[in-house]
Amino acid sequence: MYTSLALALSLSSCLLAGAQAQTTVAAWNQCGGLQYTGSTICVSGSGCVKLNDYYSQCQPGAATVTSAVSSSTTVVPSVSSSTITTSAASTTSPGLHTLAKAKGLVYFGSATDNGELTDAPYKAILSDNSEFGQLTPGNSQKWDATEGTRGTFTFTRGDEIVALAKANGQLVRGHTLVWHSQLPSWVSSGGFDNATLISIMENHVTQVATHYKGQIYAWDVLNEIFNEDGTFRESVFYTTIGEAYVAIALRAARAADPDAKLYINDYNVDGTGAKSTAMYNLVAKLIAQGVPIDGIGIQAHLISGSVPSTLQANWEQFASLGVDVALTEVDIRITLPTTDAKLAQQATDYKNVVAACVAIPKCIGITIWDYTDKYSWIPSVFSTQGAALPWDENLVKKPAYAAIAEALA
C-alpha cells in the first residue's frame, strides 16, 4: 500500500509573511488553499497539510511548522501507520479510479448534477480522472428532465454532463429511462390504455437512448421496479402494461443504442432477501427469454454500522447469471453529528463494500452517489443523517477515502 512514503506535505501556505500576527487554527480545520484568507498557523502539535489546491488542513502530528523551513520545503512527517490508515486526509493516493482499473474494474465513478458544476473546486476534483473514471447524471436524464411535455424532448442538462465526462475522458452511466419517480404527471396520471402507454414508453426510451447513442457505457433502463417483498411495484407501467413492460423497455433500448450495456437498477438488493431473490429470478427469466440484459445495478444506499453481511454472497449469485454487476449509487450514511468513532466505522463499512465488489470478477464498477457531503441527497430525506460520502463538505477526504483506496490496493 502507498502509505507514509507518499505523504508529501506542502507547507507553503503555512508560512506566509506576518504569520506571527495570526491566530492559530484548531486541528482538522482549514489553514490554506486558493481563495482562503484565514490564519495559516496550526495549533501546536499539528501541521498544515495541503490536500488539494483549494484546501489545506491542520493535522495533529503531521508536522511542526517552524520559520526555519522554507516555503518550498516538502516534509515527510513521522506519523504511525495506524494514524495514516485512519486519517485519509494525510494519504496521497494515485486516485480511486486508477486503483480500481489496476484491480481489474472498469471504473470508479461519481454521480453529479448540473447545479454543482458552477462550483469550481468541486468540479476540479470531479474532473480528475485519476479519482473518477465515470460520471452519472444524478437527475438530468430522468423522464421529467427529458420529456416533461409529451413528445417534446430536452437534452441540454444531460448533454452538459455527458460533454464534461467526454472532455475528462470519463465513461457515462445513463440514468434512467423508465422509473416511477420523477415521472411527469402526464405519464403517471394520463389514464392511457395498454397500447398507448407502450408506445409512449417505447418512444421515450428510443428518443433518449438514440440521442445519447454511442456515448453511454451503461443505461439504467429500469429503476426501482420491485417492492421490498419482491413483488412488482405498482407503477403506472406495471399496472397498465404488466410485467411485459420490462422486456419492452430493454428491447427498445437495445435497438436504439446497441453498444450500451443495459441494466436493471434497484436499492435494497445489497444483501440477500426477498427483493434480491426477485431481481435474480427476473433476470434469469429475461435471459431465458432472450431479452437483452447485461447487468444488475446495486444502488447500495447503506447505513453505517448496519451494512448487510451477505453482500458478496448476494452479488456472486447475481453474477452467476452471467451478467455484470455494478454498485451504482453508493453512500453510507451516519447519524449526525459525526465523531471520530463514527467516521472510523464508516471507513470500515466502505472498505467491506468495495472489497466485496473487488472479490467478484463480474463486479465491474463502483459509483458513489456524488463524492462530497456538500452535495449528498441524504440530509434532505433523512433529517438526522448525513456525512455519507468519502469527501466532507469542504471537499476534504475522510477516513472512508483511505479505506476505499485500501480495498482497491
Is residue 406 among the annotated active site residues?
no
Residues numbered 209 to 268 that lie near ligand 9MR (CB under 6 A) are: 223
Going by DSSP bridges, is the β-strand pair 218-223/171-179 parallel, antiparallel, or unpaired?
Answer: parallel
Grid cell listed for 392: 466532507
Candidates 147, 329, 393, 406; catalytic one: 329
Q: Which is nearer to ligand 9MR, 181 or 239 (CB)?
A: 181
**Among 77, 170, 182, which residue's Cα sits nearest to residue 123?**
170
Residues 147-186 that bind ligand 9MR (CB under 6 A): 181-182
Side chain identity, residue 358: V
Q: In whole angstroms, how close is the CB of 278 to ligand 9MR at the nearest point?
A: 17
Per CB under 6 A, the list member of 10, 57, 139, 304 interacting with ligand 9MR is 139
Residue 49 in grid coordinates: 497539510
In the chain, count of helices (H) and strands (E)?
Answer: 14, 17
Task: List binders of ligand 9MR among 62-91 (CB under 6 A).
Answer: none
Closest CA to 155 of 141, 137, 165: 141
Four-residue CA torsion sign, 12, 18, 20, 24 = negative
Instruction: Tell me whether residue 87 or residue 112 sits nearer to ligand 9MR (CB atom).
Output: 112
Close Cβ partners of 52 (under 8 Å, ≥ 6 residues apart): 33, 121, 124, 125, 395
Number of residues that bind ligand 9MR (CB under 6 A): 8
CA atoms within 13 A of residue 179's CA, in its CB half-sphere? 25
Told to judge if 243 belongs to the known catalytic residues of this protein, a careful annotator would answer no
Catalytic residue among 131, 147, 202, 224: 224
Residue 299 is a binding residue for ligand 9MR (CB under 6 A): yes
Q: What are 81's three cell numbers?
A: 501507520
Does 127 engage in binding with ligand 9MR (CB under 6 A)? Answer: no
Q: Which of 329, 349, 373, 406 binds ligand 9MR (CB under 6 A)?
A: 329
How far is the C-alpha of 93 from the C-alpha of 326, rounded, in Å? 23
Nearer to ligand 9MR, 53 or 144 (CB): 144
- Whole-angstrom distance, CA of residue 73 vs CA of residue 192: 70
User: Least distance to ligand 9MR from the beta carbon of 113, Å?
Assistant: 6
Pick 100 or 222: Cβ nearer ligand 9MR: 222
Q: Give the nearer residue to ligand 9MR in terms of CB position, either 198 or 225.
A: 225
Residue linked to cell 465523531: 339
Active site residues: 224, 329
Give the binding site for ligand 9MR (CB under 6 A): 138-139, 181-182, 223, 299, 329, 377
